[in-house]
Amino acid sequence: QVQVAESGGGSVQPGGSLRLSCTASGIIFRLYIVGWYRQSPGKERELVAQITSGGSTYYGDSVKGRFTISRDNPKNTMYLQMNSLKPEDTAIYYCNIRRVGNYWGQGTQVTVSS
């Protein structure tokens, strides 16, 4: 049984930083593409960043230069370091792990507000 769990969300002022973590079990983590999506009220879920099994990364235009995705395969964990946060980054952030299957975490709320 595959389990995916996020942590690290919270509230922060504009310009602040947060680090999200996503840990998975029940899969050979290193073989999977892992990524972060986010969804805010009234908007579609969008891809924020992803990292392949080979370490190639992708970032959405709105987060380039501010967010960094990384993975620690021995720990079955992926991270999203978010710096210079803006109010428009406010959303529920979801961890996604895919290869043969497609797995989602339950989501973690990130709120950027003064």
Which residues lie across from 49 on neighbouring strands?
Answer: 36, 59
Calpha distance 6→26 (Å, rounded)? 15
91-98 vs 77-82, strand pairing mode: unpaired
pLDDT of residue 6: 94
Residue 54: which residues within 8 A CB-CB, separation 6 or more? none
pLDDT of residue 71: 97
Residue 28 CB burial class (10 angstroms; 0-12, 13-18, ≥19):
exposed
User: Any idea how long the chain is?
Assistant: 114
pLDDT of residue 75: 97
pLDDT of residue 101: 86
Q: What is the pLDDT along the chain (114 residues), one digit of tens a residue?
A: 899 999 999 999 999 999 999 999 999 999 999 999 999 999 999 999 999 999 999 999 999 999 999 999 999 999 999 999 999 999 999 999 999 889 999 999 999 999
10-12 vs 108-112, strand pairing mode: parallel
Q: What is the DSSP letter of 83?
A: -
